Structures are given as C-alpha cells and as structure tokens.
Amino acid sequence: MTNEIQNFKGERMLQRAEELDSFWAYNTKELPRNKQLRLLDNVQFIYELALAQLELQSLGVHFEVTNGLREFKLLETKDEEEIRRKLAYFKFVKGEYTDYFQIIKKIEQGQ
C-alpha cells in the first residue's frame, strides 16, 4: 500500500511537470496593457529590486514602485523605446515586451 501511494505521488509530480510551460519563469500568457513597468517573473531578491531601480535611474526614468514591489509606475521618461531596449530586470514597458525579455524567451525556446 505504501508503494502505491509513493508511486501515485511520483506519477502526479511527473504529470504536473509536463503540464508546466518550459518557459515558466518568463510567463508570456498574459501581457497586461494597463501596467506600465513590471519586473521579470524570476526576480525574487531585494538586491534585484535595488538593481532594477538603479537601472531605471541611470536611464533618467522617474518612477514610483507599486503593487508589492513588482510593478512600477512611469512618472516621466524621455524615450520609452530606449528604455524598452536597455532594461534587463523588466518584462515589459507599457504593454510591450523589453528586448531583454524577448532574447531570454528565444533562448529558452531554443531558437
């Protein structure tokens, strides 16, 4: 009976793993158009948040941190396209994926 339970758990774990998108850390299923800046899904440490803020400041972006430290509100920027090309800690800027996120996505998909 114990082997049956362990086997069931093992089979269930394998089934769930197969259901996961191989691109889980960079979910592309939803891209909210009303959000302004959002960190990559795998950013999880406070130092990464600090580096993301420094990254924005170095590009001359004025911003406000919102929603549990994962989303940022753009207050002022000179060139949205430039920051979209240069940001490395962010998934999208005003509803459009950053270049870095698109590169990661292509690498993950083996293209």
* One-letter-per-residue 3-state SS of the chain: CHHHHHHHHHHHHHHHHHHCCCCHHHCCCCCCCCCCEEECCCCCCHHHHHHHHHHHHHCCCEEEEEHHHCEEEEEECCCHHHHHHHCCCEEEECCEECHHHHHHHHHHCCC
| Domain region containing 80 | 22-108
In a domain, 90, yes or no: yes
In a domain, 1, yes or no: no
In a domain, 96, yes or no: yes
In a domain, 52, yes or no: yes
Count how many domains the chain has.
1
| pLDDT of 28 | 53
Cα–chain center distance at 52? 12
In a domain, 33, yes or no: yes
| pLDDT of 72 | 93
| pLDDT of 68 | 80
- pLDDT string in tens for the chain (111-residue length): 555 555 565 676 666 655 554 444 555 555 555 558 999 988 989 999 999 999 999 999 999 998 788 899 999 998 999 999 999 999 999 989 999 999 998 888 876
| pLDDT of 67 | 73
| pLDDT of 90 | 95
In a domain, 77, yes or no: yes
In a domain, 63, yes or no: yes
